[in-house]
Structure 1
Amino acid sequence: MTETPNPNIIDADTLTGEMRPIRRVVLSLGSNLGERISALQGALDALADTPDVWVTGVSPIYETEPLDVPGDAGLFLNAVVLADTTLSAQRLLERVLAIEDAFDRQRSDVRNSPRTLDIDLIVVGDKVSDTDELRLPHPRAAERAFVLKPWHDLEPDAEIPGMGPVADLLEKSGETGVSRRDDLALDLT
């Protein structure tokens, strides 16, 4: 059984003695190519197996219509994962990109092209970043029902720093094209 760390405790790095805060992170998982449910479960397992990352919750799965996607892309399966970590946002991003690559994520110059696996960092503690590589909080999360609805299921009182309460943002974005799939579930073991 995994013990959930106390977010108020500072964790010392045993190699360097460096103090690293434990941050609450929100990640969005999505897939619309191949074995979608297997890709989401694999991503969850890989996140849970990452040193210094403690997965604390996973949302129900939603099937969603693709947004701003070229061609006749298939429906997405989406979920949100909550975790605590002592990793920096940059190191967590590197891990997320490695997990996507392990699931044959093909990167393209075509924005929002179909993908076997997409993992977005939505929030990493109160970190704010606006670089080409890392933007936090995720700049479009406040408009995406496929992020807001599953996150709201896990944390009805959650807020996106600088953007507002998830419940209010969900109400503004609407839930059109977002359907809960109670016949599917991710297993957090």
Structure 2
Amino acid sequence: MEHVYIGLGSNLADPAEQLRNAVQALGQLPDSVLVGVSAFYQSDSLLPGQPRYTNAVVALDSDLAPLALLDALQAIEIDQGRERHERWGPRTLDLDILLFGDRLIDEPRLKVPHYHMQARPFVLYPLAELAPVDLQLADGRTLKALLADCPFVGLERLPH
């Protein structure tokens, strides 16, 4: 099984409930085992005028191939009302493969490590709750170095 980290985000239709439902759905994926769930964090949207986002990271061990896992994640998004009208628009649920074992993936539909994660505290800090700080990404960067370059700014850790 490959150790996979998945980023979760929502800013529509009760975001915390969307994330709880997504965690439950991820725990039911075939050939996969839910290993851990970070705390939920809230932050402002990257684009002005959108509601605040709630984010988390899930650790999963999976025998699914990367694109099969991506398909499963997109099916969960659709089940939870995700509509893809605009790339950076508000969403009921966004599920992103952040890391897939030690693989470097560059496919038209999937880039791993997830692009821009190094600049997103709402990804890195929940990830750091689950992954060892000395984790080395497939592209050679370490989680520790990414955290050092991305301050904990604009995040609010939500109570359980």
Q: Does the TM-score normalized on the shorter chain lie above 0.5?
A: yes
Partner of 2:125: 149
Aligned partner of 2:29 among 50, 53, 68: 50
Instruction: Say whether 1:75 aligns with 2:52.
Output: yes
State the distance in 2 between where 1:129 and 1:156 align: 21
State the distance in 2 between where 1:64 and 1:51 align: 32
Aligned residues of 2:40 and 2:158 also touching (Cα < 8 A): yes
Alpha-carbon RMSD across the aligned residues, in angstroms, is 1.3
Structure 1 pair 94/115, CA: closer, same or farther in 2 (3 Å)?
A: same
After TM superposition, the runs of 4+ consecutive aligned structure 1 residues lying more than 4 A away are none
| Aligned-residue offset at 1:150 | 0.6
Partner of 2:116: 140
Q: Which string of whole-angstrom CA distances, capped at 9 and with x for unpartnered residues, describes residues 137-160 of structure 1?
A: 111112211110011122242332
Aligned residues of 1:53 and 1:85 also touching (Cα < 8 A): yes
Number of corresponding residues: 159
Q: Which string of whole-angstrom CA distances, capped at 9 and with x for unpartnered residues, describes residues 69-121 of structure 1?
A: 2x51011110000010000001000000000000111102x331110000000
Q: Secondary structure at the match of 2:149?
A: helix
State the distance in 2 between where 1:32 and 1:50 align: 24
Which residue identity does 1:111 align to in structure 2?
R
State the distance in 2 between where 1:163 and 1:142 align: 13
Which residue identity does 1:40 align to in structure 2?
L
Q: Which string of whole-angstrom CA distances, capped at 9 and with x for unpartnered residues, describes residues 17-60 of structure 1?
A: xxxxx100000000001111111011111110111110101001
Partner of 2:11: 32
| Aligned-residue offset at 1:161 | 2.1
In structure 2, stretches of 5+ residues that fail to align are none
Partner of 2:158: 181
Aligned partner of 2:42 among 40, 63, 66: 63
Which residue identity does 2:94 align to in structure 1?
D
Aligned residues of 1:142 and 1:160 also touching (Cα < 8 A): no
State the distance in 1 between where 2:94 and 2:140 align: 23
State the distance in 2 between where 1:167 and 1:72 align: 32
Percentage of identical aligned residues:
34
State the distance in 2 between where 1:161 and 1:126 align: 5
Structure 1 pair 142/163, CA: closer, same or farther in 2 (3 Å)?
A: farther
| Aligned-residue offset at 1:127 | 2.1
When Rg is computed on C-alpha atoms for both structures, the one with the higher figure is 1
State the TM-score, normalizing by the size of structure 1: 0.80
Q: Secondary structure at the match of 2:21?
A: helix
Partner of 1:128: 104
